[in-house]
């Protein structure tokens, strides 16, 4: 694998990582999606390059160090994106609360005859409410 082609792809990835990191720190969320898509395509291009040709990173330790630094920066961006997604999900839940639905049992007296007990069902025999 040619070192210059690998360095070109690595520089492209570093540029995209820096732009995504800057967009994560700012409040420009509309530009974040295209920047992440460009970063993803650059990483896929580098990955396909390393799969096509054997990677010889041991010959150039500075290239190996740059790749490790880019890997750590990419992990940091991924964590920041996950945090932003959680904040957005929480804000969305505050603005538009989800409807609550029963997960396991239907509401009491929803059906004419319930075979199994549910909360608040009258037993009929003792005219008592059982839980």
pLDDT at 108: 58
Over 60: is that where the pLDDT of 14 sits?
Answer: yes
Over 60: is that where the pLDDT of 126 sits?
Answer: no
pLDDT at 42: 93
**Short-list 131, 75, 77, CA closest to 108:** 131
Burial class (CB in 10 A: 0-12, 13-18, 19+), 128: exposed
Give the integer Cα–Cα distance in Å for 127 and 2: 85
Which pLDDT band, with edges at 50, 70 and 90, does 125 fall under? low
Over residues 51-110, the pLDDT tens digits come to: 776 656 667 788 888 889 999 999 999 999 999 889 888 888 888 877 666 566 555 555
DSSP 126: S
pLDDT at 106: 55
Is the distance from CB of 1 to CB of 56 less than 8 angstroms? yes
Is the distance from CB of 130 to CB of 123 less than 8 angstroms? yes
Is the distance from CB of 12 to CB of 68 less than 8 angstroms? no
Give the integer Cα–Cα distance in Å for 36 and 77: 10
- Give strand pairing partners of 130: 121
pLDDT at 24: 87
- Give strand pairing partners of 121: 130
Which pLDDT band, with edges at 50, 70 and 90, does 41 fall under? very high
pLDDT at 38: 94
């Amino acid at each position: 694998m040619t070192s210059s082609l690998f360095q070109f792809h690595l520089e492209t990835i570093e540029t995209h990582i820096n732009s995504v990191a800057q967009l994560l720190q700012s409040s420009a969320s509309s530009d974040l999606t295209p920047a992440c898509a460009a970063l993803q395509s650059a990483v896929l291009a580098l990955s396909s390059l390393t799969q096509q040709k054997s990677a010889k990173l041991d010959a150039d330790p500075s290239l190996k160090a740059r790749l490790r630094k880019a890997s750590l920066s990419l992990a940091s961006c991924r964590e920041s994106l996950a945090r932003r997604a959680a904040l957005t999900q929480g804000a969305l839940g505050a603005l538009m609360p989800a409807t609550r639905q029963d997960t396991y049992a239907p509401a009491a007296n929803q059906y004419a005859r319930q075979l199994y007990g549910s909360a608040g069902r009258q037993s009929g025999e003792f005219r008592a409410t059982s839980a």
